[in-house]
Amino acid sequence: MEDTILTSEKPSNPSPLDPPSRFICHVCQKQFSQYTCPRCNSRYCSLQCYKSHSERCTESFMRENVMEEMKLMQSDEQTKRKMLDILKRFHSEEQEGMDDSMDDDDEDHEDDSVLSEETVQKVLSGGPINYDDLSAEEKKRFQRAVASGELSKLIEAWDPWWLKSSARTISLSKEGTRLIHPLAKEEALSSRQDDGAGDQPSEIPPGPDAPLPPVRKLISREPSPFLAVHLVDIIYSYCFTLRLYNGDWQSDAIGSATVVLNVSSVLGQAGQPETILEALSYCLERTCSPEYRNMGGLQFGLGLVEDVLHILSLGGPALICLLCDLQRMVQAGEEELKAEKKRKSKTEIKSKLKLAEKKVYFIMCWVHEQPGEAWSSLAAIVRAEKSSALDCRAGKNPQIAELKTESKGKVLIEEL
């Protein structure tokens, strides 16, 4: 017995003796409907038909999802202070601009103010401000300021820890653990007040808490001869993620860990690059991909290669601290993922993070066993292969060919 085809929206009473009724899609009128809009109960057959059946339904659905996500984001005191500082600076710069051209048109400037006087006073007094507290006009102006990048200019640029002078004096124990000097609370407090450099150690990610075991205890066979190549891939993905999140990966551990998986061939794709050129080429491909192109494209990628070179020049202790920080990032992403009830492809991401955590720990143990001169040699290879990576991609990207023309005369390998 064939299925009944219905074009009416009126539901029929099901019967165990009758076959299930099938409805024609109300949008294209060509396919059988498989889904029902939760808002207007209109039947549709595909995502394309859903998007075109009613803008009111789709826009309100997306808006509610965004607002629900914003409500779930619990901001701590530090985050609130950062946002208040940004808003205060924004108001100050806006006020200065208004004062400079007040003679031109007072009323126009008054209308162009992003925040009302009441909201500004609330911000300046240190009171909490939520998105829902803004008026409809303020919300529109705030969204325009975010979209244009006007607010992002007010965020202070993050100074990477590996570029600080304290990164050159990192000391770890023979077992690879951080050196701890216990102090009484009163003594620690007084030393911080007396010495401005008392906060300096906190700039560097702490090393491991437990001794690092020998590699031979982790695997029964000889480690891969390409681990140095894999290390370059991992360092690049770490620097990419920290610069993307302005050094604050803790604000979104899942997002940060996911970026690492997306950029790193070794951690995200189970890749096994055998040359530095292969590793750098993949990382630069990901950096120039549409997903991350707004970060700065190739110029940003070349800056990250310089970050890799600088970190290698710091030696083994800095590398161990970096890998330990990356391990904490991945672990935090795993913990947040467990706490979340709804997330697409949760199982796949969870398994990738678990595998990535193990790889990072193994590389950390391997780094601990390498002699200090190994890193200067690796840095020399990376510097040489940087230009080769540009050669490899020059044919695919005209931007690279242009950069190579500008950088002629710099470090190049003429013959191998």
Return the higher-pLDDT residue of 358 and 81: 358
Question: Which DSSP category does 172 fall into?
Answer: B
pTM of the model: 0.61
- The bridge status of strand 35-36 relative to strand 4-6 is unpaired
DSSP-assigned beta bridge partners for residue 36: 43
Residue 298 confidence (pLDDT): 86
- The listed range with the strongest mean pLDDT (5-19, 152-166, 212-226) is 212-226
Please give the C-alpha separations between residue 235 and each of 113, 211, 310, in angstroms, as whole numbers: 43, 22, 11
Within a 13 Å sphere around the CA of 272, how many CA atoms are in the beta-carbon half? 4
Residue 211 confidence (pLDDT): 92
* pLDDT tens profile 139-162: 777 777 766 666 666 667 788 999
* pLDDT tens profile 308-344: 999 999 999 999 999 999 999 999 999 888 887 655 5
CA-to-CA distance for 262 and 289, rounded, in angstroms? 11
Return the higher-pLDDT residue of 79 and 296: 296
Within a 13 Å sphere around the CA of 215, how many CA atoms are in the beta-carbon half? 16
Give the range among 2-16, 124-138, 281-295, 313-327 with minimum mean pLDDT: 2-16
Please enumerate in sequence order all residues whose Cβ is within 8 A of that of 286, keeping only pairs 6 or more positions apart, or say none. 262, 263, 292
Residue 148 confidence (pLDDT): 64
User: What is the radius of gyration, based on Cα positions, of the chain?
Assistant: 28
- The listed range with the strongest mean pLDDT (146-160, 190-204, 219-233) is 219-233
Place of tokens 């829902």: 132
* pLDDT tens profile 238-266: 999 999 998 889 988 999 999 999 999 99
* pLDDT tens profile 97-115: 555 555 454 444 444 455 5
Mean pLDDT (the chain, rounded):
75
Check if the beta carbon of residue 260 is closer than 8 Å to that of residue 330: yes
CA-to-CA distance for 252 and 337, rounded, in angstroms? 11
Total H helices, total E strands in the chain: 16, 4
Q: What average pLDDT does this structure show over 159-179? A: 89
CA-to-CA distance for 327 and 233, rounded, in angstroms? 15
Residue 16 confidence (pLDDT): 42
Place of tokens 């595998």: 355
Percent of residues, the chain, with pLDDT higher than 70: 61
Two tokens, residue 238: 């770490």
Residue 128, pLDDT above cutoff 70? no
Helix (H) or strand (E) holding 273: none
CA-to-CA distance for 288 and 291, rounded, in angstroms? 8
Please enumerate in sequence order all residues whose Cβ is within 8 A of that of 4, keeping only pairs 6 or more positions apart, or say none. 12, 18, 19, 21, 22
DSSP-assigned beta bridge partners for residue 35: 44
